[in-house]
Amino acid sequence: MGILISAVWIVTALGAYFLSERMGKKLIPVLHRLKFGQTIRDEGPAWHKNKQGTPTMGGIIFIGAMLIVVLVVMLICQLFLPQKVVTDADTVSTVTRLFAGIVMAIGFGVIGFLDDFIKVVKKRNLGLTSRQKLLGQILLSGAYAIAVYATGGAQIHIPFYGMWFAGIWYIPITVFIIVAMTNATNLTDGVDGLCGSVSVIVCLFLLILCGDRLGYGIVTAATAGALAGFLVWNFHPARVFMGDTGSLFIGGVLCAVAFGIGRPLLLLPMGIVYVMETLSVVLQVSYFKWTHGKRLFKMSPLHHHFELCGWSENKIVLAAAMTTVIGCVIGLTVTVLA
């Protein structure tokens, strides 16, 4: 069965890659004709103004490819292969985690799409208000947490301790982690290819942790493949941006998989770049208020600081990718030792 599962994952990733790459070729001209161009914020690096008008909402490209491939592969496995996505031995909580997680990720993509659409229509860099986005994120993550808790799946693996049955605390802990992670992936999307590259690496390492959980492996492999296909069009100089549509969806998928396999705390080392980007914003704002106007970084999030230090976008992406690999190796090592 191990060979069969590996083959399914490889086919899934390759199928998602080629579908995403082809969809990009077809949809980018459509986004241009619809004038769905990105409005660049005035606070960003001055040279980002050259990106004004580049199509946004590109997340629909890899989201569409990923969901199509996931649906097709899951149906094929369930109907024709000896290894099933849902088996008779699966508990209600196991099935709930899988499919509620997918729905949650789609929901985050919808929030991002609404945000991007408002930006495009109003021709400004502000879409949904921060309160509206936060409320939507809390409601989605809360619904997911309640669904898992209600079906008896409220456990989290703590390294060097084991499985912790969190009880009712599972709900607020889950909401906090999911909201934090989706906002972190959103902050990371600020340089061509950055969020996509980091997320492909995280997905590939998460795939290893999926083990014999075929459903989660299919979701993770499809996400990695679809993102890789999208990067064909998103590497510097980007021909399309993923927008909040894509970055929020990525955060939702990563959380769905991490919680699904019971190891959400591994998102800290494996998503180290997301964490660093978020901390840079928190530290910048806190230091600015504390010192009455001084700045800790030249600009936040962190990737803008490196840009202003003279780093090229490709150098930033490469450094982030290498940092992510190190973080993922640490995460895997902790998993093995724990």
Q: How confident is the model at residue 48 (pLDDT cuts 50, 70, 90)?
A: low
Which whole-number Å values give the CA distances from 213 to 84, 124, 210, 255, 262, in the listed order? 10, 43, 5, 16, 12
For residue 237, say if its preceding peptide bond is cis, omega within 30 degrees of 0: yes
pLDDT of residue 40: 58
Q: What is the CA radius of gyration of the chain?
A: 20
Backbone torsions φ then ψ of 55, nearest 5 degrees = -55, 140
CB 95 within 8 A of CB 152: no
Asked, for residue 308, whether it belongs to a domain, the answer is no
For residue 130, how many other CB atoms are within 10 A of its CB? 9
Q: Residue 202: inside a domain, yes or no?
A: yes
In a domain, 322, yes or no: no
Domain count, the chain: 1
- Residue 321, domain member (yes or no): no
pLDDT of residue 229 exceeding 70, the answer is yes
Instruction: Establish if 280 belongs to a structural domain.
Output: no
* pLDDT attached to residue 145: 97
289 lies in a domain? Answer: no
Amino acid letter for position 162: G
- Report the length, in residues, of the chain: 338
CB 269 within 8 A of CB 328: yes
Query: Domain for residue 314, yes or no?
Result: no
Contact between 260 and 213 (Cβ < 8 Å):
yes
Average pLDDT (312-328) is 97
> Is 34 a member of any domain?
yes
91 contacts: CB under 8 Å, gap ≥ 6: 151, 152, 153
Q: What percent of the chain has pLDDT over 70?
A: 94
Backbone angles phi, psi at 240, to 5 degrees: -160, 145
> How does pLDDT run across 190-210, given as a tens digit for each residue?
999 999 999 999 999 999 999
Query: Would you give the DSSP letter of residue 312?
Result: -
Residues spanned by the domain of 183: 2-267
What average pLDDT score do residues 251-256 get?
98
E strands present in the chain: 155-158, 162-165
The answer to pTM > 0.75 is yes
pLDDT, position 41: 60
Q: Give per-residue pLDDT as tens, 28-46.
A: 999 988 877 666 565 556 5
Query: What would the pLDDT profile of 114-137 be if each residue is shown by its tens digit?
Result: 999 988 877 666 778 889 999 999
